[in-house]
Structure 1
């Protein structure tokens, strides 16, 4: 099978003609709910459309001077770079090597600059190598295959935390485990690193993020009947640790607490639920939710929203100074300039 991959963001133009044609009508706005929002966004901040025409855009991450992001149903990673007229194919297939499953979802970049992917179709976490091949970093727990790893965050120590709902499984495919797990893995070169199950009592875990001090793990729950943000204190001493691999401690989450419930925000005009999320350098949480991107302080107070009018999947900071928020919202790739930098 031929793998189309262009490293260093030397994009090729996709046949989908994304953003080359006139952009469809889009109306975005900023909703201010608390004066504290003024420190994070200018009062005249605009939601800008960069590209459109995607099936379901997801998992954005800044890499090598540009943005890369998944189109899950299209089994493709696209890239966008300032000055380019269109988003372009960077990687295809991205998550189902046979082509009969879903593509990649959440993306991250590790300390060495390698792209790490949640591969729905292959039901694993994988690393993209320079030659275009993939290295599986985690694909099973206790000899049971994952459902479909959805989103991930990498700690400063290199520990990968990820969620595993069944959204990306093939129709009729039965899960191996009776729960939707949240796991951690610490990749070690030259050896298979076991995944560690951290949380198994949440249905539909989706987005995942760490606080700036890495003492709190945030989980976005996309339960259609109870979409919310959960927070878990991470214990890294005594019997509380999840494990140690090559001297690196994988902390164990303490009992979770509901930080914010977004169910009340749902309406026909405000589509979507809590999905992807990121944390800024001050500890504020920017999570997708009903209507667009919800901006919460570290205590869960809702300061305002970036309204996209779309079911909105994920977001990530980028730009040279990490002060531009890029948003994947259904068929759109958007951006908003912020007054705070991403973590």
Structure 2
């Protein structure tokens, strides 16, 4: 367990002493947006600067799922199991239908173009929640420089009505987001202004109101330099960070870390019983088996 750091004794039962950190594939440019497809026993993830979405499976290894991808970043699945994706280049949210057709879900708010949708989650009622910082339109590396038309925000979209609502406008750079297993909380990562020397880095948490769509009680959950985040079935929060993975109790206590030799941008649970943690770490895809199961639908 050389790569495991136990900070709180409770973390000892959440990790496995005989499960190594495994390198699944490398040679990419910058990995993001992992999503597990249990019904196909495969992982999809973005290699953003190479403008492609990759596919990994235990049996077949690595292949290209989609190229060009319009510099897609975050991915998730909706309640019907379809792929929901964030595009930097096209500045939109899309859905990949079962026949492969791509449906545009949202690219504008109040007549103005979105920035560069970054990460996305789907709530049990089918609503699609996504962050929209300007990162993807500020460089040519992850999508191409374009003019910004909107502030950085988090949105909620109803795919049935097409209604798009701004639910958070207090962030400089909203990034990863996820719901607690009971959907009473929404966690959102603040990564601040991209080129600022003193960019703000923290994870904030909001309470969902009784209607399941309004938010209240904004507060700091952890002062971490994080990116993507996921919850396990017990409500613990797993965060992709500069030195690996940090795991937090729902009360904000840092329980432990999984150290990774390079910066981790995003992560998701998948694999056998949803207990394998996949890590998009700079140019390398890693995985490690845990003693926890992911909260998200596989």
Corresponding residue number in structure 2 for 1:65: 41
Partner of 1:109 in structure 2? 77
Match of 1:130 in 2: 98
Runs of 4+ in 1 over 6 A off after TM superposition: none
TM-score of the aligned structures, taking structure 1 as reference length:
0.79
TM-score (norm 2): 0.91
Larger Cα-atom Rg: 1
1:273-328 per-residue CA deviation (whole Å, 9 max, x = no partner) reads: 31001000000000112301111111111111111121211000111310101110
- Indicate the residue corresponding to 2:166 in structure 1: 197
Alignment partners' CA distance in 2, 1:290 and 1:69:
19
Aligned to 1:83: 59
Structure 1 CA distance, aligned partners of 2:243 and 2:22? 16
Q: What does 1:262-281 align with in structure 2 at a 5 Å threshold?
A: 262=224, 273-281=225-233
- Which of residues 219, 223, 239 is equivalent to 2:188? 219
Q: 2:121 aligns with which of 150, 153, 165?
A: 153
- SS of structure 2 residue aligned to 1:39: helix
Gaps of at least 5 residues in structure 1 are: 1-26, 97-102, 238-249, 263-272
SS at match of 2:11: helix
| Equivalent residue number for residue 18 of structure 1 | none
Task: Give, in whole Å, the separation in 1 of the partners of 2:115 and 2:92.
Answer: 8
**Distance in 1 separating the partners of 2:242 and 2:41:** 30
Find 1:295's aligned residue among 231, 243, 247: 247
Measure the CA separation in 2 of the matches of 1:205 and 1:214.
Answer: 19
1:34 and 1:255 map into 2 onto residues whose CA distance is: 27
Corresponding position: 1:176 with 2:149: yes
Relative to 1, partners in 2 of residues 1:170 and 1:28: Cα closer, same or farther, differing over 3 Å?
farther
The CA distance in 1 between the partners of 2:214 and 2:231, in whole Å, is 20
Map 1:30-49; keep pairs closer than 5 Å.
30-49=4-23
Q: 2:176 aligns with which of 173, 196, 207?
A: 207
What's the counterpart of residue 234 of structure 1? 208
Mapped contact 1:28–1:308 kept (Cα < 8 A): no
SS of alignment partner, residue 275 of structure 1: strand
SS at match of 2:217: coil
In the alignment, does 2:135 pair up with 1:167?
yes
**Is 1:322 matched with 2:271?**
no
**Deviation, structure 1 residue 111:** 2.0
Query: Judging changes above 3 Å, is the alpha-carbon distance between structure 1 residues 328 and 39 closer, same or farther for their aligned structure 2 residues?
Result: same
Task: State the alpha-carbon separation in 1 of the partners of residues 77 and 31 from structure 2.
Answer: 18
Counterpart pick for 1:259 among 216, 221, 228: 221
- Contiguous gaps of at least 5 residues in structure 2: 140-144, 193-197
SS at match of 1:304: strand
Q: Are the counterparts in 2 of residues 124 and 146 from structure 1 also a CA contact under 8 Å? A: yes
User: Aligned partners of 2:99 and 2:9: how far apart in 1?
Assistant: 50
Shift in Å, 1:170 = 5.3
